[in-house]
Amino acid sequence: MGVYDLDGKIIQAADLIVHAGNVVVFTGAGVSTESGIPDFRSPGGIWTRFDPEDFTIQKFLSSPETRKKQWQILLEGGLFANAEPNRAHLAVAELEEIGKLKCVITQNVDNLHQKAGNSPEKVYELHGNMRWLKCMSCDARYPVGDVVERFRAKVEVPECERCQGILKPDVVFFGELLPELTLKNATAHATRCDLMIVIGSSLVVYPAAYMPMYAKEAGAKLVIINNMPTSFDDAADVVIHHSAGDVTERIMENVRRRL
């Protein structure tokens, strides 16, 4: 893509934001890789470091050894405990600050949208949040950091304080359904927005990847910002194949000048 072509697409995207009244942002792993968080499928990604089998709900519930491995990941700081928001996260937070953003729908589990300044109630986490542990028996939730500090030297794998049930990272494992209420609310927002901006998602993981389809079918404009082509590119009004942080920062600079 030539630099002038890129500039033109950035202006187009900014124009859509300026004239939109109800913006929904959909984010995937490509937003968080710029914060040093590896994605799952690329070389050097999560699946080259861990066995995907250990992230199936069946294996987690049936294998004490698998639960021990998960606890070891958390003791070592999780997959991304020290990650900080990057320019893309800050751009999305600014959309909320200027009153354009209705919500963020994200496939990411790293809490970085909230850390960047988005209101937690406006962030719909389709795949959960790695910062929490959830009891599989009574649904009690505990901040990962608190449990790590309390149990680091005491037991190999902590149990629920309330019912002694199995504690699991509050993220969607293979074989689990997406959280029903979160998915319902995210779908409702997708069908009511007048602009959806997809950032850093290859749009291959379903049902999450239906979100831009819902928006487009309901008459919304669609912007896709991703390093690689997606199967939804032909349906989008603006497609930008470039790094998320650089592009979103420049889009918001353009928007600021015009509001």
Closest of 126, 114, 123, 115 to residue 205, by C-alpha:
126
At residue 259, the pLDDT reads 85
User: Is residue 127 among the annotated active site residues?
Assistant: yes
**pLDDT interval class at 50 (50, 70, 90):** low
What the block records as the tokens of 13 is 């995207």
Domains of the chain: 1-36+85-127+178-259 (3.40.50.1220), 38-79+129-171 (3.30.1600.10)
The position carrying tokens 């896709």 is 224
pLDDT at 186: 97
User: Exactly one of 19, 127, 241, 242 is catalytic; which is it?
Assistant: 127
- Burial pattern 14-28, b for ≥16 Cβ within 10 A else e, equals bbbbeebeebbbbbb
Q: Please check whether residue 250 is in contact with residue 9, taking contact to mean a CB–CB distance below 8 angstroms.
A: no
The pLDDT-based confidence of 79 (bands split at 50, 70, 90) is low
Bridge partners for 134 per DSSP: 141, 168
Residue 188's CB: how many other CB atoms inside 10 A? Answer: 13
Tens digit of each residue's pLDDT (9 = 90 or more) over 19-49: 999 999 999 999 998 998 876 555 554 545 5
Average model confidence (pLDDT) across the chain: 90
For the residues of 73-116, what is the DSSP string, one character each? HHHTTTTTTT----HHHHHHHHHHHTT-EEEEEES--S-HHHHH
User: Phi and psi for 135 in degrees, rounded to 5?
Assistant: -75, 130
pLDDT of residue 1: 44
Q: Where are the beta strands (DSSP E) in 15-62?
A: 23-27
In this predicted model, what pLDDT tens digit does every residue of 115-131 receive, in sequence order? Answer: 999 999 999 999 999 88
Whole-model pTM: value is 0.90
Lowest mean pLDDT segment, chosen from 8-22, 86-100, 134-148: 134-148
Q: Which long-range contacts (CB under 8 A, 24 or more apart) does 96-100 make?
A: 96/122, 98/255, 98/256, 98/259, 100/17, 100/20, 100/21, 100/23
Question: What CA–CA distance (Å, rounded) separates 45 from 51?
Answer: 11
